[in-house]
Structure 1
């Protein structure tokens, strides 16, 4: 048995305000599928106009950096392919995400506190 959680934050390239509620809904579905491929679970997800938060429960055999690369790569490809106007107008090239990301171990904080923080993001309409 394992109890490993990571809090991830991904920021849109150039910190552009491109995310709408439908895009965030698509991202949640994409992230959930990628997590399942890694035998992980997307516990919580939410975001604002320019960034997203994920809380992921993952097994010890999973490298967080490989998980992040897959999450960002798959989501960037699929969101750009869907042709959302806000994304097409604000971002050029092939990237949806900034190259950097935040990854924080959640071993010290109660998971409910982190889930509540993510739930309380100012989700766009």
Structure 2
């Protein structure tokens, strides 16, 4: 598995048996990673949750078309690059706005 982090999402290249449903794989990856991140970094992440959720319920799966696996691996690995201070501040501000919007929603929505 290859992975790369961005300020608000994760890129992954995963090889699994064709009998594994994509939705099941994503559910397991999100569930286990949420558990582990909450366990180790709760003080940091508790202010960034979407309601009570660590991950968004959505996901995106994309095929690589004609690109070679090496090209895809390099792209994913390039996602490890540390964000600059400006983009980090922008991301934190966006997460704060999301949290405020979620808290302001009526309970029946």
Higher strand share: 1
Specify which of 47, 52, 57 is matched with residue 89 of structure 1.
47
Whole-Å separation in 2 of the counterparts to 1:55 and 1:122: 14
Are residue 54 (structure 1) and residue 12 (structure 2) matched? Answer: yes
**Length-normalised TM-score, structure 1:** 0.57
RMSD (Å), alpha carbons: 2.0
The answer to whether the Cα contact below 8 Å between 1:48 and 1:122 also exists between their aligned partners in 2 is yes
Tell me which stretches of 4 or more aligned residues in structure 1 moved more than 6 Å.
none
Q: Which runs of 5+ in 2 are unaligned?
A: 84-109
1:107, distance to aligned residue in structure 2 (A): 5.0
Number of matched residues?
83
- State the structure with more CA Rg: 2
Are residue 105 (structure 1) and residue 63 (structure 2) matched? Answer: yes
Higher helix share: 2
